[in-house]
Structure 1
Amino acid sequence: MLILPLATMVAALTMVSAADAATPIAGRWLTEEASAIVTIAPCGAATCGRITKLIKGPPSGPPLDRNNPDARLRDRPIEGLVILTEFKDGGDDWRGRIYDPKSGKTYKSILKREADGGLKVQGCIAFFCRTQRWTAAR
């Protein structure tokens, strides 16, 4: 019977769990349409993303969350709005929820860093997903 010292077992388990961790997604990301910058960072026990800068907005003034299904939230400015919530490390990717202010709908979402440094962003209903690619904001 092989008996390993406790420190060796802990080190081995740490290496296994680190290998199963998804590539970090924190940072500032330019959306696919180049209309906004979303800042992704830890929030409590999860990871969240907030629209921190609108690049393309209407000339009539700051856009509001007019399509929100909750009438009490329709006067919130889009800039500053949390659109990525409850993201947890899924081993190969990050899984949580994404809010689309254009439709007022929230979807299951999968985020994954790509080899080129971009971020693959998916919003899903059941197993049908719509994919965008965001780039790192400078």
Structure 2
Amino acid sequence: MKKILILFLFGLWLNTVSAQKASDITGTWWNDEKTSKIEVVEEDGVFSGTIVYLIPEKYENGQPPKDDENPDPALRNRSVVGLQILSSLKYDASEQEWQGGRIYDPKSGKTYDCFGWFKDDPNTLFLKGYVVGIKWLGKSTEWTRTSLN
């Protein structure tokens, strides 16, 4: 009986240690191509991500590229550095994923519904953008945790 109790308590502890928290998504992430860093922050339980760094090779005439594919002509002259590309994500503890978000692709100027999750490694964030409410009809990307420097 004592061994069963010890195993049960160990199982509870292990489950607590491995459970992710909503805030695990916050921090700075390399995009899948390692060309930009995105800082994910939380405000009132809602997570958003902004491009905070772009590798110098992507600069044009010493300036970061513009959001020239944006469908709104009035926004095409803004820099992609400082551009919020991830918005409205909320953590669903029962699914252990962030849902209900939107992700903007500055290369195409398109915005998609999205959700995010971790598999085994909290330093690799998986995001999937999709259209018309069909999650399996979309594209996944992997972001890697990094530092701002």
Please give the TM-score of this superposition, normalised by the length of structure 1.
Answer: 0.79
Following the alignment from structure 1 to structure 2, what is the Cα–Cα distance between the partners of residues 77 and 44?
27
The verdict on how the C-alpha distance between 1:26 and 1:104 changes in structure 2, with shifts beyond 3 A counting, is: same
Match of 1:7 in 2: none
Following the alignment from structure 1 to structure 2, what is the Cα–Cα distance between the partners of residues 114 and 78?
29
Identity across the alignment (%): 35
Q: What is the RMSD of the two structures over their aligned residues, measured on CA atoms?
A: 1.9
Following the alignment from structure 1 to structure 2, what is the Cα–Cα distance between the partners of residues 43 and 50?
13
Structure 2: 5+ residue runs without aligned partners?
1-18
| Alignment: residue pair count | 120
Alignment-mate amino acid for residue 88 of structure 1 = K
Q: Which of 108, 112, 117 is the equivalent residue of 1:112?
A: 117
Match of 2:78 in 1: 76
- Asked if the contact 1:51–1:82 (Cα under 8 Å) also holds between the matched residues in 2, the reply is yes
The verdict on how the C-alpha distance between 1:53 and 1:69 changes in structure 2, with shifts beyond 3 A counting, is: same
Q: Secondary structure at the match of 2:59?
A: coil
Match of 1:57 in 2: 58
The verdict on how the C-alpha distance between 1:31 and 1:104 changes in structure 2, with shifts beyond 3 A counting, is: same
- Asked if the contact 1:112–1:121 (Cα under 8 Å) also holds between the matched residues in 2, the reply is yes
Deviant stretches of 4+, over 4 Å: 19-23
Name the structure with the higher helix share: 2
Match of 2:145 in 1: 136
Please give the TM-score of this superposition, normalised by the length of structure 2.
Answer: 0.73
- Asked if the contact 1:21–1:90 (Cα under 8 Å) also holds between the matched residues in 2, the reply is no
